[in-house]
Amino acid sequence: MPDRNENQRHLAIIGSTGSIGRQALEVVAADPERFRVVALSADKNVDLIEEQCRRFHPELVAVRDPAAADELRRRLEGERLPVYSGRGGLMAAATAGEADLVVMAVVGSAGLPLTLSAIAAGKDVALANKETLVAGGELVTRAARERGVRLIPVDSEHSALLQCLAGSRTVEVKRLVLTASGGPFRGYTRERLAGVTPEMALNHPTWAMGPKISVDSATLMNKGLEVIEAHWLFGVGYDRIDVVVHPQSLVHSLVEFVDGTYLAQMGPPDMRRPIQYALTYPHRRPAAWPGLDLAKAATMTFEPVDTRTFASLRLAYEAGRMGGTATAVLSAADEVAVGLFLERRLGFLDIERVVEEVLMRHIPQPAPTLAGIMSADEWARAEARKAAAGRR
Ligand SMILES: NC(=O)c1ccc[n+]([C@@H]2O[C@H](COP(=O)([O-])OP(=O)(O)OC[C@H]3O[C@@H](n4cnc5c(N)ncnc54)[C@H](OP(=O)(O)O)[C@@H]3O)[C@@H](O)[C@H]2O)c1
């Protein structure tokens, strides 16, 4: 094992083959003095994780899919790199002894138990996985507080809020304002939305992202999930979190203070910058990618969000206010509905209908444990499949 360099941050990247994971490794590659990768993990993309292992030399690697893990072991024979598999393998990567910061970049509900394990192991967490705070915000923020570890947001909106809030007290904050690009269907009517295909939904105007979050951006559920995350990350009530449409995606969010002052955080729509900030937090490092050229940024516009056409955002606020397991149910039902839409087994507008149907049937359990959240999640998935079947 190489000697530990105290100036280096030791990273475990969970979901290293995804959009966020790959960009986190770009940040690492651009500043090798500052970072060392101690663990990598994927679901089943053997080709890419093999390449990443050969380039970044982690101390362990985990691939959830057992057959894919076997294949990776075969390919890495002679490398003396332990390859773990299954959920236990992912846990090993999320709690890797040498890591001091875990980048949680898996997609979906797999993120919650992994984040809780990383916290329990005393790791700071750079949190990209949305579902963690949406499903388990109360549990996760309490665990982080009790264990004395940091939850550092990776998402551009929450990174912006973190930066704008630096040095201020909660009582000085009037409201948080999250910006939304409006997605590829800004200005569409309900009639036009009814005919949207997966290809159209995956074609985001300003951000290149994984498929689930791209569809969530098109329905505005993504913004709803971010409102819930902001509530837990910054301890601000739903009545003081607003969304404004900003199609150019240059202002990543704003804070309005009680004296009427706004602070906004700006930059080009490039996730490597908020990822880098999370990886170096609370410090800043020079970045290897181009910044914002204000003279070329042209006009910046802001407009109200249309929750009558895009009902998913309204549903997310409702779930947030219901509290307890309601947000886990919202997230799980959405995951199922988005999956079915991508498989062309559900229409675009059916996504919100399925989520609403499941949410309205749910009786939230307050202050749930992990087991309570997991069982609400399972219930919501089964109900969402039933609701979707009724629409085909
Ligand atoms: N992309 C963005 O710009 C962005 C911005 C803000 C927040 N986020 C959030 O960050 C998270 C990751 O998003 P993404 O766009 O990077 O997703 P993505 O491109 O789909 O990548 C997901 C990663 O997780 C792995 N994975 C998938 N299912 C898994 C499972 N059940 N167990 C373990 N690993 C699993 C994948 O492995 P394989 O490659 O082997 O499938 C891949 O490494 C999401 O929660 C998203 O909402 C993303």
Over residues 96-149, the pLDDT tens digits come to 999 999 999 999 889 999 999 999 999 999 999 999 999 999 999 999 999 999
**Under a CB-based contact definition with an 8 Å cutoff, are residues 384 and 354 in contact?**
yes
Domain 9-154 has CATH 3.40.50.170: no
Show the tokens assigned to 314: 């309204």
Instruction: Please check the confidence at residue 6 and state whether its pLDDT lies above 80.
Output: no
20 CA: nearest ligand 1 atom = 16
Q: Is the CB of 210 under 6 A from ligand 1?
A: yes
Q: How many angstroms does the Cα of residue 308 sit away from the middle of ligand 1?
A: 30
Residues spanned by CATH 3.40.50.720 within the chain? 9-154
Q: Which are the contacts of 115, defined by CB distance < 8 A and separation ≥ 6?
A: 94, 102, 104, 125, 127, 129, 132, 136, 140
Q: Is the CB of 101 under 6 A from ligand 1?
A: no
Domain 323-392 has CATH 1.10.1040.10: no
- Measured distance CA(108)–CA(213) in Å, rounded: 10
Residues spanned by CATH 1.10.1740.10 within the chain? 323-392
What pLDDT is attached to residue 70?
98
Q: Is the CB of 376 under 6 A from ligand 1?
A: no
What pLDDT is attached to residue 224?
98
What pLDDT is attached to residue 379?
98
What pLDDT is attached to residue 2?
52
Q: How many angstroms does the Cα of residue 388 sit away from the middle of ligand 1?
A: 24
* Residue with CA closest to ligand 1 atom 33: 43
* Residue with CA closest to ligand 1 atom 1: 209
What pLDDT is attached to residue 391?
86
Instruction: Please check the confidence at residue 1 and state whether its pLDDT lies above 60.
Output: no
Average of per-residue pLDDT values in the chain: 95
Please name every residue paired with 180 in a beta bridge, in sequence order, or none if there are none: 245
Q: How many angstroms does the Cα of residue 212 sit away from the middle of ligand 1?
A: 9
What pLDDT is attached to residue 36?
97
- Measured distance CA(49)–CA(40) in Å, rounded: 8
Omega before 211 within 30 of 0, i.e. cis: no
pLDDT band with cut points at 50, 70 and 90 for residue 38: very high
